[in-house]
A and B are shown apart, each in its own frame.
Chain A
Amino acid sequence: AQSVTQPDIHITVSEGASLELRCNYSYGATPYLFWYVQSPGQGLQLLLKYFSGDTLVQGIKGFEAEFKRSQSSFNLRKPSVHWSDAAEYFCAVGAGQAGTALIFGKGTTLSVSS
């Protein structure tokens, strides 16, 4: 079955500390992988996406993610977290073809402490 697992429901990180959010997927075809962020009361905003090529992808707001096929993982990282990064983060997988739906994980809530 196609699915996305985000093992961490809630993570708290000190401001300025590094961050890693985990994502594991199960997908029958070549996966196209996405990380979205959702602030309270807002829609989902794309942080970054992986289609092919370099397995380390850079996104907006200083985020990056690494695709590891052998581990079926696509973990999101940021070297130094800012208070404004507090939000809900969703990993998603799709077929990469126009029109196919994305399958989302349940999300990880990030809190940033001062």
Chain B
Amino acid sequence: EAGVVQSPRYKIIEKKQPVAFWCNPISGHNTLYWYLQNLGQGPELLIRYENEEAVDDSQLPKDRFSAERLKGVDSTLKIQPAELGDSAVYLCASTSGPSGGELFFGEGSRLTVL
């Protein structure tokens, strides 16, 4: 079974430029998460989707961040415009009912903003 797939793995951009990250969850997983991981820190939730509905986006900085999950499968996280402080790893995870709360993570997308 394929795991959670994220792309790109690495992205370097100038500040004020836009950037987008893509995530393909494990097949059949209706819940999808985007987490932010700053250097030396644990992951912090940005947004949670149940199918195509964003059910928890309270930690998403909506002035510059946006996300979507069309058709309840793949998801895209966008930053526009990027700031220096956005340099971090963006992790996508998915889960389903039988997983008992366990999250399955992708390898992450590392963003560097210059």
Measuring CB to CB, which residues of chain A are less than 8 angstroms from any residue of chain B?
4, 32, 34, 36, 41-46, 49, 51, 90, 92, 94-107
In the complex, chain B residues whose CB is within 8 Å of the CB of A106: 40-42
Q: Which residues of A contact B45 (CB under 8 A)?
A: 101, 103
Q: How far is the CA of A72 from the CA of B103 in the complex (A)?
A: 22
Interface bin, chain B: 20 to 34
Residues of B within 8 A of A107 (CB): 40-42
A43 lies within 8 A of B106 (CB): yes
- Chain B residues within 8 Å of A, Cβ to Cβ: 4, 31, 33, 40-45, 48, 50, 55-56, 91, 93, 95-108, 110
In-complex Cβ contact of A99 among B43, B55, B102 (8 A): B55
In the complex, are the beta carbons of B97 and A98 less than 8 A apart?
A: yes
Inter-chain pairs besides A44-B91, A44-B103, 20 sampled, C-beta below 8 Å:
A4-B42, A41-B107, A42-B108, A43-B91, A43-B107, A44-B43, A46-B104, A49-B101, A51-B100, A90-B43, A96-B100, A98-B95, A98-B98, A98-B101, A99-B50, A99-B55, A99-B95, A101-B33, A106-B41, A106-B42
Q: Which residues of B contact A101 (CB under 8 A)?
A: 33, 45, 48, 56
